[in-house]
Structure 1
Amino acid sequence: MSSLPSLLIIVRHAPQGTHWVAEALDVALLNASFGGDTALYFCDDGVTALLDSQTRGALDQKGTLNTIKALEMYDIDTLYVDAASLSERGLEPQHLVQQVTPALLPALLKRYQRSLVF
């Protein structure tokens, strides 16, 4: 059993134009590699990090989908997505994620000992 607290990483930014998503994924991988229970919650523009059609960003960043697909190898198999954020952007849910409505968010946050917002 890990001595690390369970961690929910909240991803609010798009993968292009900033390093927020890449840093969130790095923290997730690091926490999981030390045995920490780790999950990610994608909301706002962060839901675009789950799209198959990602291109390189203005800062020449690679898309994040390959890293997201590799999360399962680190025992990060719990990915949540805000249903309203998907709907507002006209996006379909991805097969990798569990949809969460705003009403369920408080219960989700209580499930984890710590949360970080990126």
Structure 2
Amino acid sequence: MGSHMNKKLLVISRHAPYGSSLPREALDVALAAAVYDQDIGILFMDDGVFQLLKTQNPNDILQKNLASILPALSLYGVDNIYVHKESLAERNITINELILDDAAILTSEDVEKLLDQQDHLLSF
């Protein structure tokens, strides 16, 4: 490992898991960046928090893909997983409904600080 600083990259996933390929693309980018040993985080906010619900409709193929990938994020080296607290609250989602138990729950103020620390932001 060189002593060069890793770039900090944050993927922001804002879309519900159905109706578009963006959530899947956000995960793919996060996983790909982790392979390259970047300092990678993923933030779920707005409708993106719906991707984290344990109770998802299994008939929806995209949903199933996402639900199976999410718990694997940390296995692939994506250790910084963040969830926007206000996005959950606005959608009446409680923390124990989330499929990830190791995600950090951030307030809007925390999110602003997090964004300021990144070298690159990718929003999906």
User: TM-score when scaled to structure 1?
Assistant: 0.89
Separation in structure 1 between the aligned mates of residue 67 and residue 121 of structure 2, nearest angstrom: 22
Q: Does 1:102 align with 2:108?
A: yes
Distance 1:3-1:104 versus aligned 2 partners, 3 A rule:
closer
Q: Percent identity?
A: 35
Query: Paired residue for 1:17, among 11, 16, 19?
Result: 19
Separation in structure 1 between the aligned mates of residue 47 and residue 63 of structure 2, nearest angstrom: 17
Number of the residue aligned with 2:88? 86
Separation in structure 1 between the aligned mates of residue 120 and residue 18 of structure 2, nearest angstrom: 26
Displacement over 3 Å in runs of 4+: 1-4
Separation in structure 2 between the aligned mates of residue 22 and residue 3 of structure 1, nearest angstrom: 28
Residue ranges of structure 1 left out of the alignment (5+ in a row): none
Separation in structure 2 between the aligned mates of residue 106 and residue 16 of structure 1, nearest angstrom: 27
Q: CA RMSD in A?
A: 1.6
Offset at residue 3 of structure 1 (A): 6.7
How does 1:31-110 map onto structure 2 within 5 Å?
31-55=33-57, 56-57=59-60, 60-63=61-64, 64-93=66-95, 94=98, 95-110=101-116
Separation in structure 1 between the aligned mates of residue 56 and residue 42 of structure 2, nearest angstrom: 19
User: TM-score when scaled to structure 2?
Assistant: 0.85
Instruction: Spell out, residue by residue over 1:28-83, the C-alpha distance to the aligned partner (whole angstroms, 9 max, x if none).
Output: 011101111111100010001111112244xx424312111111111112111111
